[in-house]
Structure 1
């Protein structure tokens, strides 16, 4: 999952030929960017369509804009029935020094969500990145590290018991070839840390849905095959795994053709599936053709999940391009979210809306 300065992802930046063709066809077209006013009918908002289908439409939320940008909060509360902390619940933010927790930003989000009748996805308990220096450089033994991990999960999940409907318990545990990613956890504790983390989280809040979350697993490929094998193994062992999160950080025109079938095979295991971090980046400056393709991609990605049994919903990784992580991570790319920097709804908004609306 992204951070404003993240550099760890390695996605394809191939720009498909179809965009060049589409650009030629619509070079003279003018796209009207619709804007929903704050008093728009609730039934025609993203939230209204999602509520009508009994699913979540979520957004990753930054503490800064939530507390300082009224337009950001207004769009968030009108359009989304679920929120995910972009950074406030990651380990470096929560426990910057050992045993000393800073709950302020996470508490603000949970309180805001409760006041606006939004669910909260917890993100994330065990990740290789954004670890505080005391943990990353502490030289702990396997036994000490196991205790530290259990205490962190007990404390964090316990604090929000009954207030968070789902947790991304383990995040980005695999390499692209399907092998286990080397990390503080994998290297010291072995793959068993995943089952332990799920068990500890379940003990701390038995009602929360527990997820493994990863990127580049949307297609049927070596990485998703490995994730599927792990999920089957954990379920066979009685480990409390309830869902799989597919991050879905895409490049325009590159929603995988096998996405729906791939999500379905996880659903067929009895697991929830969710799109957890959807954004679709465009080479800048974005053309009319690319914005139109992005709209189609948002619709397709949403329908790929909602067309599968046990899809719990879709979360986009941000609200507005004003605060997107994409330009700082993928040089030359941007315009990845449904709203412009000035909170005008883009064609992507229409695509997302149509993906949620069964009558579109």
Structure 2
């Protein structure tokens, strides 16, 4: 080989290396960009840690703050707001070009103690509505043009399709949802507004949310998407049920998001989704917490298979699905370690406790390149 041929071969290898390295470093968000956004729930502290923030920068283009935008965190005392954590979250997101989702404005949980009372008595409807409007106007208004979309109302229905019993319902009545959407739209007319809930593959609950969307639309109240929380397991739900739920909501003219995705690998002693009605049985602790050490290779493979199955459904609905948000960066911080039993070790997310990618990451990257799932 002469000198010039040698130089040409070295240059070719260098360019090839750069190309392949760049492909290997492409994250989930880039690979799924033409299909839907890939999001993640974070805390402000996550974004200040180098390894976690590096994962977020690489793999996700949408961020939801898991805790600090809830009412109890923002307004501990009436009129006294603590925006520092959220301001940092918003600033970091904009610096790195991420879409930001506000979570959540109205929920039956995470409310400050003072919210529903006055002088130790329950508030009137008018006064609670005034507090709701002021809070939404203050929070949404502060981040107008900075937060892309809001989970306006979260988890307002039970599995049977009836309204969840809450102070919002008891004091204001069933139209508290309508008022919340109206207040949010007034505070930022350009923001996307969402209803978010779990269990939406179950018909009765799904029916209730369908009626809600139809009612809001009939009154000209903006609602842009429904968030299907994806707190799933290796076997629940049947992928066909998710497929049918997405189709039904999309037929109403709203977009669909999988807003809180994680897949538990643990056995469940009760209902396999977020809720308050889990019935703990007499199974031994060892049976309920089988992977307190490393996740076995065969179970990790099952987890990858399950995520692939779910993403096959989502890719088939790419025209309707606008975002898929994983509920946490790594297994270490997942809420699933403590529900429905505390101190179990679950492994539901894309990255393990050492922030190393699991097999599922490679599988989803490959699936994005294919763009669809081949039938077996």
Normalising by the residue count of structure 2, what TM-score does the alignment of the two structures yield? 0.81
The residue that corresponds to 1:176 in the other structure is 159
Aligned length: 319
Aligned equivalent of 1:59, options 10, 24, 40 = 40
Alignment of 1:227-306 (within 5 A): 227-256=209-238, 257-283=240-266, 284-285=290-291, 286-306=295-315
Instruction: Determine which structure has more spread, i.e. the larger CA radius of gyration.
Output: 2
1:53-95 Cα offsets, whole Å, 9 max, x none, are 3x2100000123323x211111011110010000010001111
The 3-state SS of whatever aligns with 1:123 is strand
The residue that corresponds to 2:133 in the other structure is 150
- Is it true that 1:164 corresponds to 2:147 in the alignment? yes
The residue that corresponds to 2:93 in the other structure is 113
Q: Which stretch shows the higher mean deviation, 285-294 or 230-239?
A: 285-294
- Kept in 2, the 8 Å contact 1:298–1:355? The answer is no
Normalising by the residue count of structure 1, what TM-score does the alignment of the two structures yield? 0.84
- Kept in 1, the 8 Å contact 2:159–2:202? The answer is no
- Kept in 2, the 8 Å contact 1:60–1:319? The answer is yes
**How much has 1:164 moved relative to structure 2?**
1.2
- Is it true that 1:70 corresponds to 2:50 in the alignment? yes
Aligned equivalent of 1:50, options 3, 27, 32 = 32
- Name the CA distance, whole Å, in 1 between partners of 2:166 and 2:367: 37
The 3-state SS of whatever aligns with 1:278 is strand
User: Which structure carries more relative contact order (alpha carbon 8 Å, separation 6+)?
Assistant: 1
- Name the CA distance, whole Å, in 1 between partners of 2:139 and 2:369: 36
**How much has 1:147 moved relative to structure 2?**
0.2
The residue that corresponds to 2:287 in the other structure is none
The 3-state SS of whatever aligns with 2:246 is helix
1:107-165 Cα offsets, whole Å, 9 max, x none, are 11111111111100110000000001111454322111000001111111111111111
- Name the CA distance, whole Å, in 2 between partners of 1:196 and 1:221: 26
- Show structure 1 runs of 5+ residues with no match: 1-38
**How much has 1:300 moved relative to structure 2?**
2.5
1:184-211 Cα offsets, whole Å, 9 max, x none, are 1111111101111111111111111101
RMSD across aligned C-alpha pairs, in angstroms? Answer: 1.8
**How much has 1:315 moved relative to structure 2?**
0.2
Alignment of 1:5-20 (within 5 A): none
- Is it true that 1:86 corresponds to 2:46 in the alignment? no
Aligned equivalent of 2:188, options 200, 205, 216 = 205
Alpha carbons of 1:355 and 1:200: their partners in 2 closer, same or farther (altered >3 Å)?
farther
- Kept in 2, the 8 Å contact 1:97–1:132? The answer is yes
The 3-state SS of whatever aligns with 1:342 is coil
- Name the CA distance, whole Å, in 2 between partners of 1:260 and 1:351: 21
- Show structure 2 runs of 5+ residues with no match: 1-20, 267-289
Alignment of 1:34-45 (within 5 A): 41=23, 44-45=26-27
**How much has 1:41 moved relative to structure 2?**
3.5
**How much has 1:329 moved relative to structure 2?**
2.1
1:266-314 Cα offsets, whole Å, 9 max, x none, are 1111101000000001124143332222112222223323322321110
